[in-house]
Amino acid sequence: MSTQKALKVPAHTPENAGSCGATNLVSVSPCSQLSARTIPKYAGSAHSKLHNVVWRSPLQNIYVVKKPWNETTTRAMREFIAFIHAEYPSLNVIVSEDVKNTCTTPLAVHTGSVADIVAKTDLIVSLGGDGTTLRAVLAFLNGSVPPVLCFAMGTLGFLLPFDFASFRESFRAVFESRGKAIHRTRLECHVLAHYKQHHDATMVYAMNDISLHRGAQPGLIKLDIYIDSEYLTSTTADGLVFATPTGSTAYSLSAGGPIAHPLVPCILLTPICPQSLSFRPLVLPATSHVMIRLLAGTRAERIKMSIDGIAQPDLRPGDEIHVVNENGTIYIPGSHQPPKTLRSRLGFDDYIEPGRAGGPAPADQPNGIFCFAKAENDWTVGITELLGFNSSFKGQKH
């Protein structure tokens, strides 16, 4: 079996490092000493869009992330951690290495490497905007993501139904297995470098979108597009955006793509300023396998790629990008074999159970991301209040 390399994870810059150090804390302990991660049960219902999140064993380790360089979220983090210590003394709070330096009040926290944090986190608590949540989830590049409790303290809040003013009640419901969550799917992206062997392919998950674009270069890029191994078209454009339903209200929407409800099983493919006016955005089944080949002859020697807004290593002409839903399979025309997963098609493994790209997930590790929701209609409220969906110009002030 070959080894896959993870794509780049966003680096964090220490905040206020000179003004408040770890000496002001009661203790800073390595999170490697904590017990292994607890995975809850997600119980669906035919009468609800949401899943009940039930802890099979008591919640133990909370990973708190915050919007960087923001005093409001820093104060909120301190208040939240102090609340946990006072009301739930058996719980452990995990923060990243840079965030620990902002805890000027006497607080006990755990920290460690990204790998240690991923292995120990039972619940993610996000204080900030959508970008804060996306960065937190990106740490879990090649594995299942703990449930996420998001508080709206940033610029945009499609993923953030809860007001921090009610954080005590919101957290109590989660702790007592009364929380409900919406299931958001991810895209699985494999990059095959033309100048390397297949075993050097890189793979990463995207919660929002995967974008290919020309960056600062003046020339357009040329791409071949295949769907389920069948040639679709060639295009010359500024780029392309693959989006999940969750990401349909982000970059894809700005590029003219459609809005999709988070529970619609689909992959969105949206061109960015295509040369042809007849290239319209596509809504593809979630079972689709989309392959993009970067063509030679383009003026752009390097093509930019970003995952959920985080820049990744540049691509070159000849490289391939394979995108599937993380539950997707690969259908090879004319083959009588069962559908292959993306990993097996690229030579990573033998045939694996159909139904999941990258191999079957362990039964206790569900795919996708479960984000706690306040109500069934959170999404409807979001596009109305945040996007001003179908709003009239009459009431706007000049």
Measured from the Cβ of residue 333, the count of other Cβ atoms closer than 10 Å reads 7
| From 122, 130, 238, 319, the catalytic residue | 130
Question: 130 an active-site residue?
Answer: yes
Counting beta carbons within 10 angstroms of the beta carbon of residue 178, is it exposed (0 to 12), middle (13 to 18) or buried (19 or more)? Answer: exposed
Q: Give yes or no for a contact between 211 and 250, defined as CB atoms under 8 angstroms apart.
A: no
AA letter at 342: L
Q: Give yes or no for a contact between 295 and 219, defined as CB atoms under 8 angstroms apart.
A: no
What is the C-alpha to C-alpha distance for residues 155 and 94, in angstroms, rounded to an integer? 25
What is the C-alpha to C-alpha distance for residues 205 and 369, in angstroms, rounded to an integer? 11
Tell me which residues are annotated as active site: 130
